[in-house]
A and B are shown apart, each in its own frame.
Chain A
Amino acid sequence: MSKNVLVELSEAMAEAVENAGKATVMVNARRRMPASGILYASDLILTADHVVEREEDIKIVFGDNTEKSASLAGRDPGSDLAVLKVNGSAGIVAAMTKTPGRVGQIVLALGRPTNEGIQASLGTISAVGGPVRTGRGAILEQYIRTDSIPYPGFSGGPLVAADGSVVGINTSGLGHGASLTIPAALAWKIGETLASHGHIRRGYLGIRSQTVEIPESARSSLKSQQETGLLIVGIEKDSPSSKGGLMVGDILTSVNGTPVLHHDELFAILTGEIVGKSTPIEVLRGGTKAVVNVVIGERK
């Protein structure tokens, strides 16, 4: 039977799996089945944070079945990414996609959770979205969703395009069990920070809060038509907010001049840059406006 478009597509996908599979490694850093990772620099591996359960005795198995020990270079539970370092050059480095993922694009999710070779599942990009709050205390600027099957042990492995280039890194640790893909450009950027600093700095206030409607009468005192704010229902002991004088019952309306209507805006403001800075926080206290200066702490 001669080659036709179906055979050509099939061979191209097998080729993409073989090529990207060379840079897809097994990450053995937890008790249950190993997970996956991407060799993204000659001695650095990007993987999912939640699969790195131990920081000692981390083993990496490469595409040619060689095994190396790795050390933890940095981790960020917020975005569920971790960077591992091996000694010396480790093999073929993954190629990052030149074009970001598009909805409808054919993609392959790769993993190497066993010694029996590369594994893959086929899908298309279902959605490209963001920013989104991860539920692990971070804002992900962008995410990709696919309909490929996230086999056990695929967390930390790459999502690749039909040409074998890496579109993102897959993890089941962010989407309440559902699989999510962190776009390659974002993951590489976070990976660089982790490799050089060990962690991602994020601001910390130490409040528990819920979104509430701001009463019509209070809006005039705020001199704003802002409809909602964050009612503070709890203050962590010895936290930046308690030291700065925030109180339970305050309705937080803005930070550093930026209105806060929902939690997402507060998360977006609490970046690493404002850690340690005295920051004006505007609240409604007893129906009138008050400004409290809080030295923003760092989320641990």
Chain B
Amino acid sequence: MDFNGSFNKVIEELVMNVLPSLVIVRGHRFGGGAGMIWSSDGLVLTNNHVVARRKPIIKLNDESEHEARLISRSPEEDLALLKIDASDLKPLEPAPENPRVGELAFAFGHPWGQRNSVTRGIVSALLNAKTSQGRTLPVIRSDAPLAPGNSGGPLVNSRGQVIGINAMIMGGDQSLAISVQAARNFVLKVVGEEKIGVGDQQPIPEGVL
């Protein structure tokens, strides 16, 4: 088997599949964060802490810039849902199941402003974080290196499906991502079931939510 050739090819394919769904979110005067396209008609998911003002600017992978409306934000879960006026966007597919510890994970974002960066790691741990309100929030710790600018970007599995939303950097080498299940619940609360996982042809089983 041409191991190197096929290995590089599938990684390239994975990256090419994810990048059109990766956006830049400019919410601060300085810098910015990442975000991902959640529905083909313009829903964008990112971290709450990336969105400092009510009308952040979203820059898509095709370089077009859009003023976004803030649909909902949850400081507790550090999630925010934005909407831009656009259509035929390419949303990411959420992973149908919880990830397993040990599986490959790729973090997409713009660390230190380096656009469309991809870092590789594995799912290191599946943990429950305590929110400021005392609720538990399922999070994924990975060993993929993250830096400021990765926040709000997707953590994807080897199939290119979203497993988490990159959120925190603890102690320099510990990356936490909010589980995509928590993100789905957050979006569901806001926009109702019909908007969930547009582009994802599978019906969402109740148990997964």
Contacts and interface: CB of A to CB of B under 8 A. Distances in A.
Interface in A1-47: 1, 4-7, 9-11, 13-18, 21
Interface in A112-126: 114, 116-122
B10 A4 contact: yes
A122 B125 CA distance: 12
Contacts of B173: 149
Interface string B6-25: 11001100100000000000
> Mostly helix, strand, loop or mixed at chain B's interface?
mixed
A199 B125 CA distance: 35
A148 B125 CA distance: 14
B54 interface: no
A10 B104 contact: yes
B143 A148 contact: yes
B102 A5 contact: no
Contacts, number: 80
B150 interface: no
Interface residues of A, number: 27
Contacts of A4: 6, 10
Contact of A18 (B7, B100, B159, B174): B100
B158 interface: yes
Nearest to A117: B126
16 contacts: A4-B6, A5-B6, A5-B7, A6-B11, A6-B104, A7-B159, A10-B157, A13-B122, A18-B100, A21-B101, A108-B102, A108-B122, A114-B127, A119-B141, A120-B123, A120-B124
Interface in B87-119: 100-104
A151 interface: yes
Contacts of A114: 125, 127
A148 B102 CA distance: 12
A120 B102 CA distance: 6
Q: Which 10 A-B pairs have the closest CB atoms?
A: A17-B102, A10-B158, A14-B100, A10-B104, A119-B125, A14-B102, A14-B103, A121-B143, A122-B122, A4-B10
Contacts of B103: 10-11, 13-14
Given A1-B159, A17-B100, A6 B7 contact: yes
Interface of B: 3, 6-7, 10-11, 14, 100-104, 121-128, 141, 143, 157-160, 173-174
B76 to A, nearest CB: 20
A119 B10 contact: no
Given A10-B157, A116-B127, 4 more contacts: A6-B104, A10-B104, A13-B102, A120-B125
A18 to B, nearest CB: 7
